[in-house]
Structure 1
Amino acid sequence: MALLGNWTLAGVAEEPHGILRLAPDRMQLFGRCGILVGSWRADTGGLFVAGMFGSSGAEGGRGCDDAPGQNPQWLQRVASYRLEGDTPMLLDADGALVARLLPGATPTPGPYLAASEVAPPEITDEVRRQFAPAAALPATLAPVAGDRLVGKWVPVSGPRTAYVEFKADGEWRGSDGCNGQAGRWVVGSGGAFLATTGPSTQIGCDGVPVGAWLTSSWRAGLAGETLVLLDARSKETGRLRRAD
């Protein structure tokens, strides 16, 4: 919960006046490319992952028109965080500093957002439960390292068209069997696992909700060659195997 709030970005050359709003259900970046919107996840062990999937009010800054709504390069590098007093520090996979988050920012809502949509997020009991520590990986599963995840996986059972492909750069792409999906992922020690996803088409079919599996999971472990995904209470969300 220490990350929830409105923050001024410090140390990010690409966003010298950027404001990052981290709410329980979304991330907003108010910067030189207008307002970027996405999803994010973090755990109490210091893992962090975020993915942008929409934008509004782009101002045509350098690089803004090339990939509207996509992850800025600096945010794509972030894989963890630590706290120095009340100041969150966003770090890359090697532990190097990417950005400092300074409290007290006041984003301007502009014509598309209500003032309530840019106010500091409210911390409710439900939010506290949402950000509570996840259960440990069961001893029957082996923690999975990032290099073991890279590649294409399919559900143990279900249509052959459903799949998830984890890429080495932290992106994942997949399908429930009918609808394309994509997001970001990160793993940590002890089987810690986090993933985000963006919007998807809504074609109805008898598919497998692989995107929901990923975004509801907090732990990932191997049972032999089978990847087992678990939620915060160690309840299984899904099983995947290597694609043939």
Structure 2
Amino acid sequence: MGRRRFLLTMVAVGALLAGCAGGTGAEKSPQPALPPATGSPGPADPVALLGNWTLAGVADEPHGILRLAPDRIQLFGRCGILVGSWRADAGGLFVAGMFGSSGPEGGPRCTNTEPNPQWLQRVTSYRLEGDTPMLLDADGALVARLRPGATPTPGPYLAASEVAPPEITDEVRRQFAPAAALPATLTPAAGDRLVGRWVPVSGPRRAYVEFKADGEWRGSDGCNGQAGRWVVGSGGALLATTGPSTLIGCDGVPVGAWLASSWRAGLAGETLVLLDARSKETGRLRRAD
């Protein structure tokens, strides 16, 4: 995540997604609302989210540990170890999506083949209270507290370095530094303006991105299906995660990489312009016909 292009690709998607997650249908939380129009109030420093945390306030994970490293998110919980990607910014936005698992299954309650926990899908922002990050939903309600000092067990599936507290270097701080403002020539793209199907301005018509109102996006580079989570904020802030993709070779458009490297989104008339942290264009899309 951060300032680099982040697109995880795997050939055997079915094998990756075979890990358990989310619980039974009866335990699902309500679908999240439309991504919020602004970030949460109060101090927001995404670097402060890096670490190993004990989850508090999440009924589905009474003993869960959340590890936030610069390049991944890991949940050590009742369904083994879930792995995914996450992003956060200095405006208080937060988005994460699990797409795989490792380790033994967590028992009979872990029967859902979708690895993205419902409680995590609800999180769209964060706030810091001292050394305790608070993960919040679209209405600003508390979803989880992250208490410091957790110690995940590596076991036979992960090396000790993969569960140690992440090192915070100058490069990491640069990766999470505030993004450049949206150019004045563009109109900030609000969530309700983004929902729907978009295609690249140029390139194969098979490529597309569909932003859904529940915070999920799906798309294709023209050959390979892709998906992730998204959230928008004030000033055109846009954060999106990506999950695994197939590896069919073709002359496509890397829409997943566009989203994963974008920090701002603005509208030039009816054209959606995606921008990286330095306000350089990553891609242009238009509404699908």
- Whether TM-score is above 0.5 comes out as yes
Identity of paired residues, percent? 93
Among residues 117, 122, 133, which one is paired with 1:77 in the alignment?
A: 122
Q: 1:62 & 1:166 partners in 2: Cα distance?
A: 33
Q: 1:122 & 1:159 partners in 2: Cα distance?
A: 41
Q: Is this contact kept in 2: 1:196–1:214, CA < 8 A?
A: yes
Higher relative contact order (CA 8 A, sep 6+): 2
Give the CA deviation at 1:22: 0.2
Q: Deviations over 1:166-217 (max 9, x none)?
A: 0111000000001000000000111000000011111111100000000000
Q: Deviations over 1:18-66 (max 9, x none)?
A: 00000000000000000000000000110000000101224344542xx
What TM-score do the two structures reach when normalised by structure 1? 0.96
Give the CA deviation at 1:125: 1.6
**CA 1:152 to 1:121, structure 2 compared with 1: closer, same or farther past 3 Å?**
same
Q: Is this contact kept in 2: 1:32–1:58, CA < 8 A?
A: no
Match of 1:27 in 2: 73
Match of 1:242 in 2: 287
Q: 2:60 & 2:106 partners in 1: Cα distance?
A: 14
Q: 2:53 & 2:213 partners in 1: Cα distance?
A: 29
Q: Deviations over 1:75-131 (max 9, x none)?
A: 000000000111100000010000000000000111110011000001112111100
Q: 1:146 & 1:201 partners in 2: Cα distance?
A: 28
**Bigger shift: residues 121-130 or 72-81:** 121-130
Higher normalized strand content (fraction of residues): 1
Give the CA deviation at 1:6: 0.2
**CA 1:127 to 1:189, structure 2 compared with 1: closer, same or farther past 3 Å?**
same
What TM-score do the two structures reach when normalised by structure 2? 0.82
Equivalent residues in 2 for 1:194-205, closer than 5 Å: 194-205=239-250
Alignment partner of 1:135: what SS? coil
**CA 1:63 to 1:167, structure 2 compared with 1: closer, same or farther past 3 Å?**
farther
Give the CA deviation at 1:132: 0.5
**CA 1:60 to 1:6, structure 2 compared with 1: closer, same or farther past 3 Å?**
closer
Q: How many residue pairs were aligned?
A: 239
User: 2:172 matched to 1:134?
Assistant: no
Among residues 143, 149, 169, which one is paired with 2:194 in the alignment?
A: 149
Alignment partner of 1:2: what SS? helix
Q: Deviations over 1:118-165 (max 9, x none)?
A: 000011121111000000111111111111111000000000000000
Q: Is this contact kept in 2: 1:164–1:175, CA < 8 A?
A: yes
Alignment partner of 1:121: what SS? coil
Q: Is this contact kept in 2: 1:10–1:100, CA < 8 A?
A: yes
**CA 1:119 to 1:145, structure 2 compared with 1: closer, same or farther past 3 Å?**
same
Alignment partner of 1:94: what SS? coil
Match of 1:57 in 2: 103
Q: Deviations over 1:215-234 (max 9, x none)?
A: 00000010000000000000
Q: 2:105 & 2:250 partners in 1: Cα distance?
A: 39
Q: 1:228 & 1:131 partners in 2: Cα distance?
A: 21
Q: Is this contact kept in 2: 1:87–1:103, CA < 8 A?
A: yes
Q: 1:95 & 1:189 partners in 2: Cα distance?
A: 15
Runs of at least 5 residues in structure 2 that lack an aligned partner in the other structure: 1-46
**CA 1:107 to 1:60, structure 2 compared with 1: closer, same or farther past 3 Å?**
closer
**CA 1:89 to 1:180, structure 2 compared with 1: closer, same or farther past 3 Å?**
same
**CA 1:14 to 1:23, structure 2 compared with 1: closer, same or farther past 3 Å?**
same
Runs of at least 5 residues in structure 1 that lack an aligned partner in the other structure: 65-69
Please tell me the root mean square deviation across aligned C-alpha atoms, in Å. Answer: 0.8
Q: 1:61 & 1:225 partners in 2: Cα distance?
A: 49
Q: 1:160 & 1:185 partners in 2: Cα distance?
A: 23
User: 2:92 matched to 1:42?
Assistant: no
